[in-house]
Amino acid sequence: MDKLINKLQEIISNSNQLVAFTGAGISAESGISTFRGAGGLWSKYDPDIYANVNIFMQDSSYYWNFFKDERYPILKKAKPNAAHYALVELEKQEKLYGVITQNIDGLHQMAGQSYVIELHGNTRKIRCLNCEKIYAWNEVYNQLEKELPPRCHSCGGRLKPATILFGEPLPQRALDEAVIAAKECDTFLVLGSSLVVYPAAQLPVIAKENNAKLAIINMDPTPLDNIADIVIHDNVSRVLSKIKK
């Protein structure tokens, strides 16, 4: 392991434009379960029902029960962990250009990260599909005991989380910024993602195609391990704690 850590250290030390790409694995130590693999959220909740935009538009009560019973209680009490703070430190050292995240938990921002590209939105914001009014998630959560699915107080419209459900296109601006970051970086650091969901998982490939070094730190093997310059199958916090900033 030390040889791998030394190699990662060298890659990060030699980098002038480092970009981090994070998935659910980086928030696992904040008490938020990942989606896939043993004990993953999708083994408990079928994503084709609880996280699909077509089902949501037909009957959003599936999603709102999932939000009420599972997501909000856990995300609400989650705090950033050492891995989130290690990225903030790299940004302060002007080593890290920014973080591209698939996570909707807002923990990077809570840790103090200034440049975060949210590919899959943020669950702390809820939007009215009719008048676009934005609500804070706790406001809507408190409404769910009385009214599920929740309605907009202003226009009576339907409310939807500001997150990307399966079947929905990614926010164009975020995707554009992420592609530019992947193309212009010299080191692309994947932290805690299974790299099976597209178009997000295309970004490490884009970085590699543009001559960046690709580093993958993930507990389990990923489909992109074979194109990476370094792969460490270990805990993100443990690995980042060994990297001198």
CA 129 to chain centre: 23
Chain contacts with ligand APR (rule: CB under 6 A): 23-25, 28-29, 34-37, 40, 102, 120, 192-194, 197, 218-220, 235-236
202: DSSP letter: G
Between residues 40 and 171, which has the closer beta carbon with respect to ligand APR? 40
Cα torsion angle, 65, 69, 70, 74, sign: positive
Is 153 labeled as catalytic in the residue annotation? no
SS3 118: strand
Smallest separation, CB 110 to ligand APR (Å): 17
Strands 159-163, 121-128: pairing is: antiparallel
Between residues 168 and 186, which has the closer beta carbon with respect to ligand APR? 168
Smallest separation, CB 40 to ligand APR (Å): 5
Catalytic site residue from 84, 120, 153, 233? 120
Burial classification of residue 150, based on how many CB atoms lie within 10 Å of its CB (0-12 exposed, 13-18 middle, 19 or more buried): buried
Cis check: omega of the bond before 149, within 30 degrees of 0:
yes
Contact 115, 91 (CB under 8 A): yes
Contact 142, 99 (CB under 8 A): no
Between residues 35 and 64, which has the closer beta carbon with respect to ligand APR? 35
Smallest separation, CB 29 to ligand APR (Å): 5
Residue nearest ligand APR (C-beta atom)? 25
Between residues 146 and 173, which has the closer beta carbon with respect to ligand APR? 173
Smallest separation, CB 103 to ligand APR (Å): 6
Active site residues: 120
